[in-house]
Amino acid sequence: PRCGRICPWAATPANAPSFHMSRAINLALCRAMWRWTRSPTVRLSRFSIPLEALPERVGGRAGELLSNSSGPRRDSAGCQALLRELWTESAQFEGEEAHAAIDDAFKVLRAMADMEAELDELMRQRITNANRTGIWFTIGQVVRHRKYGYRGVVAGWDRTPQVDVSGWDGLRSLPSAADQPFYRVVPDLADCNELLGGPRDMKYVAQENLQVLHPSLSRVHHPAIVGTLFTHFDAATSSYVPSIDLAFEYPGSRADDGAASTTAEAVADAQEVLHIVSDVSAKLAAFVSAVLSAPPSPSSS
Pairing relation of β-strands 210-212 and 142-145?
antiparallel
pLDDT of res. 21: 47
pLDDT of res. 253: 79
Residue 30 one-letter amino acid: C
150 Cβ contact list (under 8 Å, min separation 6): 144, 187, 188, 191, 192, 195, 196, 203
pLDDT of res. 4: 47
pLDDT of res. 99: 81
- Say if CB 158 and CB 181 are below 8 A apart: yes
pLDDT of res. 280: 53
Per-residue pLDDT of the chain (301 residues; tens, 9 = 90+): 445 444 544 444 444 444 444 667 877 888 899 999 999 999 999 999 999 999 998 899 899 988 888 888 899 999 999 998 888 887 777 778 878 888 888 999 999 999 999 999 999 999 999 999 999 999 999 999 999 999 999 999 999 999 999 889 889 899 999 999 999 999 999 999 999 999 999 999 999 999 999 888 889 999 989 888 999 999 999 999 999 999 999 998 775 554 343 444 454 455 555 555 455 555 555 665 665 566 555 544 3
User: CA torsion 15→20→22→24, rounded to 10°?
Assistant: -50
pLDDT of res. 93: 78
What one-character DSSP code corresponds to residue 186?
Answer: E
pLDDT of res. 262: 43
pLDDT of res. 279: 56
- Say if CB 49 and CB 85 are below 8 A apart: no
pLDDT of res. 19: 47
Q: Cα–Cα distance between 130 and 249 in angstroms, integer?
A: 9
pLDDT of res. 283: 57
pTM of the model: 0.74
pLDDT of res. 128: 93
